[in-house]
Structures are given as C-alpha cells and as structure tokens.
Structure 1
Amino acid sequence: MDESTTTLSLAIGARVKQERQHRGWTLDQLAEAAGVSRRMIVNVEQGAANPSVGTLLRISDALGVGLPALVEPPRPKPIKVTRSGEGAELWSSDQGGRGLLVAGTESPDVVELWDWTLGPGDHHGSEAHAAGTKELLQVQEGAVTVEAGEQVITLEAGDAMTFPGDIPHSYANLGTGPARFILAVFEPGVGSGHRQDTVTTAGQDS
C-alpha cells in the first residue's frame, strides 16, 4: 500500500476499533454482526488490510455509523468541505480506475457521493446492498455500461439513470479511453440490521 492508502487504512481501523469498544463488543461480536471473519476485523483495526467496499459497508452498517463516518474523524461542524484530491480512495485498478468517496451524510439515512473513474476494460461489480438502497449515476466522460439485475444499459457522457442498489449490479468501461461518472447512493436505515436480509457472504466486491 502507498502512503495515502496506509494513512486511510489506519484511520478506518482506529474508527472501527473506537466504535466497537464504545459498544462494548468483542472482535467476534462485530465479526458476527457484520458477516465477516474475525481475522478481517483484526486486520482492518490494525490498518493491515485493504478491504473491499462491500466489507466496509458491512462493518459500518453493523456499527450503525455509515460508511462516510469510517473514513473521517467525527466533526462537530454542520458543514464539511472536501477539496479536490481529498476524497477517500476506496477502490482502484491497474488500468487507472478509482472510486473516490467525496462526501456523505451520517446515519441512519446515509447518502454517499462518489467520483468514479474506470480505465479501458475496467469492471467493478457490487453485490446487493441493504433493502431500499437507491443509486443515481451520471456519466461525465466516455461511456459506462451499467448492469442492474437483468438489465444492461450503456450511458454516454451527459446521460443519467437511477436504479435499485439492493440488487446485484456493476459498472464497466468497454471503450478504449477513460470513463468517469458521479454516483450518489441513498441507503436508508443504516444500523438497523437490515443488511443481513440481503447479504449473507463476505468479500464479493471486485
């Protein structure tokens, strides 16, 4: 991991440990609530792991804090500004793709704002999120092919769509140049334990 990734991993680990201990949970209790292995929790808390977005979603939902709260320290300010280049990079590829979480609200009704870049041939698959999750996407550059359930739709620059995030879905760049899109994710009721209704296995994000 490079320096920025290591710093982010350590910050996430410290927040996870803080929230777990605040609830008086053991490592095993958090692992069971999140549906991941005890070893994964240990690695995340130590900053030794680079977990998938899906794994981080499980852990944040189990803790009832939402994914955005894991990537930054709690702040009393009602306004949070993320300057260009300050987003949390939670996914990257060898083709130059990356997924940046640039803004988010607190639980229980969490809204995440992502800035995604897909390199030529990149594909990012995501398992079904919690029941009721909605996603909104607009392509800024290139073309993005979205597969949501049984539907496959290709969007060009300027095109937008909404789709349920509580079904398996993926984003792909089938072109020869980079593709970029803005993604908003609305996830209601984070921390209520509803994720267990839709997620039964760990580590399926690519």
Structure 2
Amino acid sequence: MEDNAETLARAIGERVKQERKGRDWTLDQLAEIAGVSRRMVVNVEQGAVNPSIGTLLRLSDALGVGLPALVEPPASRSAKITRSGEGAVLWTGPSGGRGVLVAGTESPDVVELWDWTLAPGERHQSEAHSAGTRELLQVLEGSLTVSVSEEIHVLSMGDALTFFGDVGHAYSNDSQQRTRFTLTVLEPGVGAAHRTETPNA
C-alpha cells in the first residue's frame, strides 16, 4: 500500500512539473495562481508528499487540466479500463476508509468517477470546488450523511443525491457499519479562469 502511494505521489509530481514547465511558469507563479505555498508545489513536484484532494484540485484548475490528468496517463481515443484495485487512492481515512478516483475525462469539461468507502465515524470535508461544479452520488452500502453548506441529507442504501459542489460540503458515516458510495463530479470549464492569465516572470 505504501509503495502504491509513493508511486502515485511521484507520478503526480512528474505531471505537475511537466504541465508547469510546458507553460514556462516558475514554481512561484504556479503557487500564486493555485493559491498554495511554494513549498507545497516543490514537495508535490518532488513526490515528497501525498497532497490532499483540495490541493490537487487547486493545482489542476490552475494548470487548466483537471484532476484526472494529474493522476492518470494522457487519454487516447481507445477505451480505457481501470481494473478493480487499480484506481488512484487520493484520500485515506483514519479507520481505513478510501476515496478512489477510478475514471475521468480531460478538460475543459472534466468528469470524475469515484469509489468511496467510509468506516464508521469517518468524515471527509471538501472545500468548495470551481463555480458550476455538480456532484451526483449513490449509496451502495450502509448509510451516508451529506452536508451541503447548511443543508444535511441522510441517505440509505440505494438513495441518490445531486447537488452543486461549488460550496463547502462533507460526507460522513454516522452509523456503526461501513458505508460505500459511488460519486460523479462534473467540473465545467476547468482552468477557464486562468487561460487568459500570463504570469509575470
């Protein structure tokens, strides 16, 4: 498991560096546009950290490529299969829960498909995504509490929910059994806010 996490961190670092250099941006320029520290950009590019989903979203949006482009090889026109267990584990909970990105599309209209598992008592807090982001999820096992801004939705197995993800939101398992849900995230116009920006050298 550790080896997989290290391999993923290195792969993400290489792609971030490649995208940054392809734009002739310095570390400071990417850090400023993404709203993260220079030290974080350095650590990500060196594969020295497993960045949070929030940090990855900030970097991918700043680069205008979408999150899947940072964790998967460039897509071709042929179909791509992600075998069971091969998805990118981008979140792990303290009790063994996981957020796994299993499939995705490229920018500008990025679609992400996630497989989430939350152990009893686990919670994942997500910061607001880019404007217009939509999330669709369905509970496959157990129950799930979803907080969207001030609204709280309690879902049982088989229930589905659609909401705008451009506000703070969270998924939590308040039950005594494991929760599993599938999540689709649509982020329209990824990187559009940065496409006209030419960072100062």
Q: Secondary structure of the equivalent of 1:69? A: helix
Q: How does 1:24-173 map to 2 (within 5 A)?
A: 24-173=24-173
> Aligned partners of 2:73 and 2:22: how far apart in 1?
15
Q: Secondary structure of the equivalent of 1:78? A: coil
CA positional deviation for 1:154: 0.6
CA positional deviation for 1:78: 3.2
Provide structure 1 residue ranges, at least 5 long, that are not aligned to the other structure: 195-206
Counterpart residue number, 2:18: 18
Would you identify which runs of 4 or more consecutive aligned residues in structure 1 move more than 3 Å? none
1:189 and 2:180 matched: no
Q: Secondary structure of the equivalent of 2:162? A: strand
> Aligned partners of 2:114 and 2:165: how far apart in 1?
14
CA positional deviation for 1:50: 1.1
> Aligned partners of 2:56 and 2:41: how far apart in 1?
10
Counterpart residue number, 1:204: none
Q: Deviations over 1:112-139 (max 9, x none)?
A: 0000000000000111110000000100
> Aligned partners of 1:136 and 1:77: how far apart in 2?
26
Give 1:165's aligned amino acid.
G
CA positional deviation for 1:72: 1.4
Counterpart residue number, 2:2: 2
> Aligned partners of 1:185 and 1:139: how far apart in 2?
15
> Aligned partners of 2:140 and 2:93: how far apart in 1?
19
Q: Deviations over 1:60-79 (max 9, x none)?
A: 01111100010012143432
Give 2:5's aligned amino acid.
T
> Aligned partners of 1:75 and 1:184: how far apart in 2?
19
Give 1:154's aligned amino acid.
V
> Aligned partners of 2:78 and 2:94: how far apart in 1?
37
Provide structure 2 residue ranges, at least 5 long, that are not aligned to the other structure: 195-201
> Aligned partners of 2:97 and 2:172: how far apart in 1?
11
> Aligned partners of 2:75 and 2:107: how far apart in 1?
14
Counterpart residue number, 1:180: 180
> Aligned partners of 1:17 and 1:153: how far apart in 2?
39
> Aligned partners of 1:175 and 1:25: how far apart in 2?
47
> Aligned partners of 2:169 and 2:75: how far apart in 1?
33
> Aligned partners of 1:75 and 1:183: how far apart in 2?
21
Counterpart residue number, 1:202: none
Q: How many residues of Structure 1 are paired with residues of Structure 2 in the alignment?
A: 194
Q: Deviations over 1:50-93 (max 9, x none)?
A: 11100000000111110001001214343211110000000001
